[in-house]
Structure 1
Amino acid sequence: MSVRPRPHLPMRPAWLCRNCAAPWPCRPAQLALAAEFYGHSIALAFYLAVSMREALDDAYGLGLCPDLAALHARFLGWLSMTRRSHG
């Protein structure tokens, strides 16, 4: 019997990966999301934007003052690497 790998999902309100404890979306989560949303880049961007907003709300709820540019880079900055050229 093979063991299924644990998914790299966010642990709220800290928004750390439940599997590797890196800031979510960690690199394995990014790869899994890119595969799951393959061909649907707008849906992926929307999902990540909503997740970023939830992370902001959670940070403010914890009394933190999050770095908005860092959160944008973390949640949305890697999306340009998932696009394929159609030329």
Structure 2
Amino acid sequence: MKRSVDAAAQRQVSGSGHRPARPGWDCRDCYQPWPCPPAQVHLAESYEADRPGLAVYMATLYVAAVHELPSIPAGLLYGQFVAWTRALARRPATPEGRQLTREIHQAVHIPRVRL
């Protein structure tokens, strides 16, 4: 299971450069807990038409992280992996890219640059 989940995680964020380093689940690029804010933005943009799919994908990675990081409470890992996707789910996807980017940045709490 680890190999297939790891391969999926690498494919989903390969365009962003912000990939998870396992088993510690830190970002290989910025060393923040993964998914770091840039990875969250990339994932949200990749799944813009399938936000439930993003939640399922992140829940799958959450389960892997719970097994690989037994010393970290599952509730904290839930916040790291899954909770941020709920904020996206409450916002409807829009066809306008600028609006979508603005919504994603608000949902993942990233200060947005002027578009």
Same fold, judged at TM 0.5 (above): yes
1:29 maps to 39
Q: Give the TM-score, by structure 2 length.
A: 0.62
Task: Determine the C-alpha separation between the residues in 2 that align with 1:81 and 1:7.
Answer: 23
Q: Give the TM-score, by structure 1 length.
A: 0.80
2:113 maps to none
Equivalent pairs, count: 78
1:11 maps to 21
1:71 maps to 77
Higher helix share: 2
Instruction: Give the counterpart letter for 1:41 in structure 2.
Output: R
Runs (4+) of structure 1 exceeding 4 A deviation are none
Listed as ranges, the gaps of 5+ residues in structure 1 are none
Q: Say whether the 8 Å CA contact 1:6–1:19 is kept in structure 2.
A: no
Overall identity of the aligned pairs, in %: 33
Listed as ranges, the gaps of 5+ residues in structure 2 are 1-14, 94-115
